[in-house]
């Protein structure tokens, strides 16, 4: 059970990394649009 828990935890971390990177890209794309107004 411990091995499964660790592997699922790694999957969760990778999902969080992907989501955070996606948010960074979105904010970088939206930032110039907000500043130009």
Q: What is the pLDDT along the chain (37 residues), one digit of tens a residue?
A: 788 888 899 999 999 999 999 999 998 888 888 877 6
Query: What pLDDT is attached to residue 12?
Result: 93
Distance CA 1, CA 15 (A): 21
The number of C-alpha atoms within 13 Å of 36 and in the hemisphere containing its C-beta is: 5
Overall pTM > 0.75: no
């Amino acid at each position: 059970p411990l091995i499964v828990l660790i592997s699922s935890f790694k999957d969760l971390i990778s999902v969080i990394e992907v989501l955070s990177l996606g948010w960074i890209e979105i904010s970088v794309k939206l930032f110039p649009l907000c500043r130009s107004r």
